[in-house]
Amino acid sequence: MKDVLVRSLLRLASSGGRGALSILIYHRVLPVPDPLLPGVVDAAQFEVQVETLKQSFNVVPLREAVQRLAAGTLRPRTASITFDDGYADNQQIALPILRRHGITATFFIASGYLDGGVMWNDKVIEAVRGATQARLLIPALELPELSIATMEDKQRAIVRLLTRLKYLPMADRERWSDWLLEHCASSAPLNLMMTREQVRALDASGMDVGGHTIRHPILTKLEQVQARREIAEGRELLEGLCARDITLFAYPNGIPGMDFGPQHVRMVKELGFQAAVSTGWGAAQTGDDLYQLPRFTPWGLSALEFQMRLGINLMRSRLNLPSPPRWELSN
């Protein structure tokens, strides 16, 4: 019965003959579930989601979907898969699954973290993971004392810390995440991000690579010259690795009006990108701004729940509903 309702929701959401593009965001695909990161899919869950997506949607590469969207030839229920940041498990774990199903995904890579770099948010996660003390007090961050005694406590503490640090200047984010590692006697992971060879391997396998700046800053927190340099130089490094033009871009963090503004949209256009994606929820339709395409994170561990969220996301666009609260631990 639930399956029938979900199929009806998908049909209703895509009715009316208008093309709609659902762009899914992933960050990581873990080899096995991580109790500290319950919202991050593992290989088995990702396999199910890819299979489910193929059953209900026309899955095409984002580059092709954008072209069809601009031409007004997009089918009503089209989907594209994207990954943000450049985690090594994208190439090690997600790539074989994508190839097995004949799907081309787009990988938006923050080029400054290749070859052993560590993103600030991962330092925070690993600091809390390895902490042995029961409580964490950081008066300078204006946070209450955080309990980290249990796995659930650690999950809540990570969300509080990431929320507090995310909009600080880049140098302060790095300083505090390094301090947390030291304070909790934890070690930074050195193999989370891709190497240059793994980027080349993605490209050689037929996957698409997109720009995501150098160091994943909140663009609205930078001077315009610095923001433009992050966007342009991040792409240049990737073009050198892939020996071709990089035409797609993802705004770091990506909340429209908060993490990027009209000035950054203009930069992306002026730099010659063909399209850019945000993290505003919904599905793109013909006539939408190609430089502010919405995406959504496909939460849901079961195939049924996954399909339901896809349908709700389509309905949100048709009915102009607000986005749900954001709670993922990734950037």
User: Quick check: 66 and 124 in contact, CB under 8 A?
Assistant: no
Q: 78 pLDDT exceeds 90? A: yes
Residue 318: pLDDT band with limits 50, 70, 90 = low
Q: Where are the alpha helices (DSSP H) in 81-223?
A: 88-89, 95-100, 120-130, 151-165, 170-183, 196-204
Q: Give me the mean pLDDT over the 226-232 stretch.
A: 98
Q: What is the pLDDT of residue 330?
A: 43
Which residue carries 């994170």 as its tokens? 297
Q: What is the pLDDT of residue 329?
A: 41
Helix (H) / strand (E) containing 78: strand 78-85
Q: Give me the mean pLDDT over the 270-279 stretch.
A: 97
Residue 3: pLDDT band with limits 50, 70, 90 = low
Residue 300: pLDDT band with limits 50, 70, 90 = low
Q: What is the pLDDT of residue 326?
A: 40
Q: Give me the mean pLDDT over the 85-109 stretch.
A: 98
Q: Give me the mean pLDDT over the 213-217 stretch.
A: 97
Residue 153 dihedral angles phi and psi, to the nearest 5°? -60, -45
Q: Give me the mean pLDDT over the 160-166 stretch.
A: 96
Q: Give me the mean pLDDT over the 151-179 stretch.
A: 96
Average of per-residue pLDDT values in the chain: 90
Q: What is the pLDDT of residue 18?
A: 65
Which CA distances in Å does 73 have to 81, 275, 286?
19, 17, 8
Q: Which residue has the higher pLDDT, 326 or 272?
A: 272
Q: Give me the mean pLDDT over the 72-89 stretch.
A: 95
Q: Give me the mean pLDDT over the 15-19 stretch.
A: 57
Q: Give me the mean pLDDT over the 76-81 stretch.
A: 94
Q: Which residue has the higher pLDDT, 308 or 35?
A: 35
Lowest mean pLDDT among 43-47, 187-191, 226-230: 187-191
Q: What is the pLDDT of residue 238?
A: 98
> Percentage of the chain with pLDDT > 90?
78
Q: What is the pLDDT of residue 317?
A: 61
Q: Give me the mean pLDDT over the 180-209 stretch.
A: 95
Q: Give me the mean pLDDT over the 287-296 stretch.
A: 94
Round the CA-based radius of gyration of the chain to a whole number and report it. 20
> Percentage of the chain with pLDDT > 70?
89
User: Quick check: 68 and 11 in contact, CB under 8 A?
Assistant: no
Per DSSP, the three-state class of 209 is strand
Q: Give me the mean pLDDT over the 140-166 stretch.
A: 95
